Structure 1
Amino acid sequence: MNSINFIHVLRAFAAFLIVNSHSDKLFPAGLSALGTGGSIGNAIFFFTSGYTLSLGIRKKGYDYLPWLKKRIVRLYPSFLVFTLFSLVVLKEDYRWYDWLFFNGSWFLQAIVVYYIVFFPLIKYLDKYLGIILIVNYIAFACFFLFTYDHASWTIDFMDNPTRAHWIYYFMIMLLGAIVSKNDSIFSRVGKLHLQEQKVGWLALMPVLLISVIVFYIPKYLFTKLHFDGSIQFIYPVLLVIMTYAFYLMSLRVSAYLNTSASTSFNQKIIFVSYLTLDIYIVHFSIVHAIGDSSIMFPMNYIFAIVLIVLSSYILKKSSDRSLDFFSKDKSETSN
């Protein structure tokens, strides 16, 4: 497991940003603004999902219902194991439908909705993905104009009842599918792969930095200068641009890591990338618990990261065993 793929780099980075965005209470007073990056992390995760899922759909010729069942079933074990742990150990209160519909986790709910729509788009409308992405943005724009209060900044509030973020994050998933199609056309080892062959470090670093700065400018203008709230209109476009910039950077980072003498760092990145879903599930409770403790910064932050990774690994192993058990039991019953 020495060779690292750019998907591993992106997923590991997405996991870190998502955790960091909910860690504001771990930072000292005055530095809580450092607990940010959740929107970027979410976008990167949905990009990688769109990239990998579309490749599988194109290459393996899945049927819709078996594919959908397989994807949804893979989400439940980690969620159910941790929910049971929270109920018994953490004394959390759950309603019956929380167990069925990922209640309290918009992230998992959105993924299921995306799965339902994503497969037929790749299967039957693959050559129109660019147009579909534009239509998706137009749908968001209409939704924004008629349902949003432009007097406040709400575009990146994940608990917003309008669920507009579900619409524009699906754009990012479509972007991943579009890029994967281009990558399958232009071989990574061939001269035609524009991103890897012609874009170097000196060009990528400014592009990435500028895209991040530009992404945060609208929110800064609104909060600091009381700019017109309709500026939120361009938020998804900036998110698409920034996500693509991170994709380009991940290509270079993975290529560099694969040529480095040491492989231990690569293995750590790959390890974290496989725990992305589980990290998302466990990190809320851990950050909250450590935030209420007396541990001082930066030890509280470091301890939280270590505990989140360890807990995610345990959850991953537990959920995998649960899934294997029920799959085995089902196969033995059918024989």
Structure 2
Amino acid sequence: MKERNIGIDILKFIAALIITNSHMELLYGKYSALATGGAIGDVLFFFCSGFTLFLGKMGRFDNWYKRRINRIYPTVFAWAIMGAFIFGYHNDMKYTLINGGGWFVTCIMIYYVILYIIRRIMQNKLKWAFMITSIIVIAWYFIMNPPFGFNMYGGTYLKWGHYFLFMLLGASLGITNKDNWKYSFKRDGLKALGCTIVYYSMLTVARKIEVAQHLELLSLIPLLGITFYLYKFCNSYIMKKLYHNKYIGAIIKFIGGLCLEIYLVQGSLFTDKMNKIFPLNLLIMLIIIIAIAYILRCLSRIFAQTFKPEDYNWKEVFKAY
């Protein structure tokens, strides 16, 4: 793996952990307020996708988009099979194609089309793409005229607009070729902490005081800051040193590589039957989710190889990362 992708590997690892924790409300019991950060986990994944998409070759759109489908949909189909045989899901093909991976997969497949166009005609003008997207999101928000208590990071199509900003941020940093950030734990760490405090403060105020409800839209600014400083942190010397550790690096690459699979499987696995042993139940459930996610990835590789003329490559199927 190229050195420049180490920060993205670490960021995917962080995203996978945040995404899992943010959906664990059931496991926290009376401490459910600690299960948060879903939006942060989502934007980190979009950021990483935008970053890596601007590294590879483009070529003709149909072949380029086919590679994106081959990366995601074997996993979606494998999850549909697991869901039918293990969890009792019975979804038709239309649902599987459009909703089988949840809103996240549908959204990112649309993003791929837009990013291809942007890379073709605006690769050196990503600031303009970012500005245009920002204007669209602001207009979309006010045209919706959201009611008090509206959650723009929740079940709304608006997030399909503003999450694209984070993909563009990743794309912008992906083409700068800068991978050796000088990270100051004092200066940059304080900035990251400040962005986090401002972000959650804005959300809290916006959802409790009606006159300040539009602060939720402005919360995108500190969220962009959180994303940038986390990426910068992941490219710091100390994190790269940890990454190159034989054991720590293997864990980072293994869990980070399962980010998509973890997103798909987690919702079907949570149970409150172990809440009596909190917080140990969180660790146990995390291990279960990672194990099932790994099984899903293996099944998706088998599924993908089944429809190719080559012999099965079992080493590739069970490869950790």
Provide the TM-score with structure 1 as the length reference.
Answer: 0.86
Q: Which amino acid aligns with 1:20?
A: N
Contact between 2:205 and 2:213, CA under 8 Å: does it hold in 1?
no
The answer on 1:15 being equivalent to 2:26 is: no
The equivalent position to 2:130 in structure 1, one of 128, 133, 136, is 133
The equivalent position to 1:64 in structure 2, one of 56, 61, 65, is 61
The answer on 1:266 being equivalent to 2:249 is: yes
What runs of 5+ residues in structure 1 fail to find an aligned partner?
190-195, 331-335
Aligned to 1:114: 111
Aligned to 2:318: none
The answer on 1:32 being equivalent to 2:32 is: yes
Aligned-residue CA RMSD (Å): 2.2
- Superposition map of 1:1-335 within 5 A: 5-29=6-30, 31-56=31-56, 60-103=57-100, 105-157=102-154, 159-160=155-156, 163-182=157-176, 184=177, 186=178, 188=179, 196-197=181-182, 199-252=183-236, 253-258=238-243, 262-287=245-270, 290-292=271-273, 296-328=277-309
CA deviation vs aligned residue, 1:262-281 (integer Å, no higher than 9, x gap): 42011101111111111111
2:170 & 2:263 partners in 1: Cα distance?
20
Provide the TM-score with structure 2 as the length reference.
Answer: 0.90
Deviation at 1:104, TM superposition (A): 6.6
CA deviation vs aligned residue, 1:153-193 (integer Å, no higher than 9, x gap): 32111x22xx01011111100110101112x2x5x46xxxx
Pair 107,204 (structure 1): closer, same or farther in 2 beyond 3 Å: same
Contact between 1:98 and 1:104, CA under 8 Å: does it hold in 2?
no
Deviation at 1:135, TM superposition (A): 0.8
Contact between 1:19 and 1:283, CA under 8 Å: does it hold in 2?
yes
What runs of 5+ residues in structure 2 fail to find an aligned partner?
312-321
Deviation at 1:93, TM superposition (A): 3.4
Q: Which amino acid aligns with 1:23?
A: M
| Identity, % of aligned positions | 25
Contact between 1:14 and 1:44, CA under 8 Å: does it hold in 2?
yes
Work out the number of aligned pairs and report it. 309
Moved more, 232-241 or 167-176: 232-241
1:258 & 1:12 partners in 2: Cα distance?
11
Aligned to 1:333: none
1:53 & 1:85 partners in 2: Cα distance?
29
Contact between 1:14 and 1:41, CA under 8 Å: does it hold in 2?
yes
1:316 & 1:118 partners in 2: Cα distance?
26
Deviation at 1:62, TM superposition (A): 2.1
Moved more, 6-15 or 249-258: 249-258
2:90 & 2:277 partners in 1: Cα distance?
30
Deviation at 1:224, TM superposition (A): 4.0
Contact between 2:12 and 2:256, CA under 8 Å: does it hold in 1?
yes
1:294 & 1:26 partners in 2: Cα distance?
6
2:26 & 2:6 partners in 1: Cα distance?
33
Deviation at 1:95, TM superposition (A): 3.3
CA deviation vs aligned residue, 1:100-148 (integer Å, no higher than 9, x gap): 2124700000011011111121122101111111110110000000114
Deviation at 1:296, TM superposition (A): 3.1
Deviation at 1:257, TM superposition (A): 1.6
DSSP-derived class of the 1:28 partner: helix
Aligned to 1:193: none
